[in-house]
Amino acid sequence: MVSPFRRFIGMVFLVTFVLVYIFLAMVIGDMTMAGKHWSIKLIFFAIAGLIWVVPAGLIISWTYKKR
């Protein structure tokens, strides 16, 4: 059985990670993509929108890992 405290810590860390990641991706995208063609922006934000899945999956797997 997974500890409720471990799930709570994982949830807090996951929400914090996602919020920080969204802010950083937005700031980096705004600073580097200003004036670029729309297709370059689309590629950047599509990749940035998918990269967060890997660390989030690792956090979730740690949260539900048995002792």
1 has a pLDDT exceeding 70? no
Structure confidence at residue 67 as a pLDDT band (50, 70, 90): low
Domain extent at residue 36: 4-63
Tally of domains in the chain? 1
Structure confidence at residue 20 as a pLDDT band (50, 70, 90): very high
Read off φ and ψ for residue 29, nearest 5 degrees.
-65, -40
29 has a pLDDT exceeding 80? yes
Q: What is the mean pLDDT of residues 24-48?
A: 93
61 has a pLDDT exceeding 70? yes
Question: What's the farthest any 2 CA atoms get from each other in the chain?
Answer: 52
pLDDT digits (tens, 9 = 90+) for 39-50: 999 999 999 999
